[in-house]
Amino acid sequence: MSTSGPEFTMSDFLASIAHVVRPGEQRPLVVHDEDLVEIPPGSVPNPTSLRVAGTLPTTTFELFRQVIPAGESSDMQRHHHETVHFVIAGDGFTEIESGDDVEIVGWTAGSFVYTPPWTWHRHYNDSSGHPVEFLTIENSRLLGLFGLGRRESAGLATMAEVRKREDK
């Protein structure tokens, strides 16, 4: 089939489009838990552990398995991408910027927690004895393809501390 020029026909082109898009040979279709790649401790400014399913053939989104230890939290952060956390285990709450206000939203195992783009937020583990575990899905790869990815951390600051810094 010709993709351009006088030999090109729309019917041949449309017939060549498959209903199934296969990933490249360089990446697997399945990544097992033991194959997730750990982001080295200290690379993120919080006590959570993050493991990425980076070898999956996704081109527009990234998948992480995140654990927040008992009584701990993620860092206060914002980023250009959207994120959804599926709570695999545990209970907690998220402190999130909502216009001029701060919203506190609680969640439990089975909840989906949405974080809009460029919104300060921090996830807290309510338990003193059990970790929280998230499956984190974000469209950071898509934004990265366009050179638009940006992430900012305020460390373990509170929302009040972040707002005070921004006012200066």
Q: What is the pLDDT of residues 129-150, one digit of tens each?
A: 999 999 999 998 888 888 888 9
Q: Given the structure tokens 């654990």, which residue do they identify?
A: 67
DSSP 124: E
The conformation of residue 91, written as its DSSP 8-state character, comes to: E
In whole angstroms, what is the distance from residue 60 CA to residue 24 CA?
Answer: 15
- State the sign of the Cα–Cα–Cα–Cα dihedral 166, 73, 59, 37: positive
Q: How many angstroms separate the first and last alpha carbons of the chain?
A: 62
Nearest residue to 76 (alpha-carbon basis) of 6, 4, 162: 162
Among 31, 30, 48, CA closest to 39: 48
Mean pLDDT of the chain: 86
Amino acid at 124: Y
Give residue 147's pLDDT: 86
What confidence tier does 59 reach under pLDDT thresholds 50, 70, 90? confident
Grouping H, G, I as helix, E, B as strand and the rest as coil, residue 108 is: strand
For the segment 113-130, the average pLDDT, to the nearest whole number, is 96
More confident residue, 15 or 36: 36
> What is the token pair recorded at 158?
């509170």
72-114 pLDDT, tens digit each:
999 999 999 999 999 999 999 999 998 889 999 999 999 999 9
The DSSP annotation for 123-145 comes to EEE--SSS-EEEEEEE-HHHHHH
Tell me if 68 sits within 8 A of 132, measured CB to CB: yes
Residues facing residue 103 across a β-bridge: 96
